[in-house]
Amino acid sequence: MRQQLLYDKQQRFHGMQWTSLAPTRGKTDLILSGRRGKMAVHYVLNEGDVPEGGHVIVNIGGREIGVYLIDGQYYALYNYCPHQGAPLCRGIVCGTTMPSRVYQYEFGKSGEIVRCPWHGWEFEIKTGKSLIDDKIRAKSYPIEIQDGKIGIVLK
């Protein structure tokens, strides 16, 4: 009953829906939202919904956001590539070659890079920064954990 009330309240005020990369789950989860100043924290997932090294895409009021778990820390990226608008979070998660001497190739940041599915631009999941130009960024969002719920902070 309490869950249904919270769910109804959330739907009325925020119109959010829960989605994931696993369509078979098809689950509409309890979503709690709160306001803190001009920022809203949208509690859209439970800890444990995102596997280590994996991610889940949620939809908050029509805005798709990928929630990633890397080394026990959560990160949120807007599912929109700043190049031409591809669904960035549908891209593969990989690593990259690190700065090194000529003819030396060092691989690093494994599991910390997302590669856009359309043209292959790569972004750091932790910061949203493009690997080719610091001025290009995928939008990222702060994460807040409370009582086992993962909250995405939106302005």
Confirm if 138 and 82 have CB atoms less than 8 A apart: yes
CB atoms within 10 A of CB 68: 24
Please state, in angstroms and rounded to a whole number, the distance separating the CA atoms of residues 133 and 113. 14
Per DSSP, 116 falls in state: -
Count of residues near ligand FES by CB under 6 A: 8
Span of 12-20, 42-50, 80-88, 99-107 interacting with ligand FES by CB under 6 A:
80-88
Nearer to ligand FES, 11 or 84 (CB): 84
Nearer to ligand FES, 78 or 121 (CB): 121
Span of 22-30, 33-41, 77-85, 92-100 interacting with ligand FES by CB under 6 A:
77-85
Nearer to ligand FES, 43 or 121 (CB): 121
Name which position in 6, 7, 19, 83 contacts ligand FES (CB under 6 A): 83
Q: Cβ contacts of residue 11 below 8 Å, gap of 6+?
A: none
Please state, in angstroms and rounded to a whole number, the distance separating the CA atoms of residues 92 and 115. 6
Q: Cβ contacts of residue 41 below 8 Å, gap of 6+?
A: 33, 34, 35, 144, 146, 151, 152, 153, 154
The answer to whether 94 contacts ligand FES (rule: CB under 6 A) is no
The answer to whether 84 contacts ligand FES (rule: CB under 6 A) is yes
Nearer to ligand FES, 14 or 137 (CB): 137
- Residues within the interface to ligand FES (CB under 6 A): 81, 83-84, 86, 116, 118-119, 121
